[in-house]
Amino acid sequence: MALAVRRYRVEGEVQGVGFRWYVREQARTLELAGWVRNEPDGAVVLVAAGEASSLDALERELHLGPRHSTVTSVVRRELTSFDAVDLPPTFMIER
């Protein structure tokens, strides 16, 4: 199993609607490590590490979001396994 690491930037109505909690629960269910946080410009950014198939599943969930969200854009950037060195062992919400 090869470790994959991805950074996502999600835009739309994604703050104040439980988006970070939604992402955390999805990522933990998929056994991913990483973090999610709100950005000052209204976007949500996250870094996740794990199996590529689990990251693909998370990406599908990012496009859906929780019930009261409206996702207009999900931008993915592939990172290196070196970028996973400082990630928490479980998926966390950063404040």
pLDDT tens column, 19-30 = 999 999 999 999
Under a CB-based contact definition with an 8 Å cutoff, are residues 66 and 53 in contact? no
The one catalytic residue among 20, 24, 28, 67:
20
CATH number of 4-79: 3.30.70.100
- pTM, rounded to two decimals: 0.93
Question: Nearest Cα to 91, choosing from 11, 6, 17?
Answer: 6
- 20 among known catalytic residues: yes
- What would the pLDDT profile of 32-54 be if each residue is shown by its tens digit? 999 999 999 999 999 999 999 99
Active site residue 37: no
pLDDT for res 6: 96
pLDDT tens, residue by residue, 55-80: 999 999 999 999 999 999 999 999 98
Which of 37, 38, 67, 76 does the annotation list as catalytic?
38
How buried is 19 (Cβ within 10 angstroms: 0-12 exposed, 13-18 middle, 19+ buried)?
buried
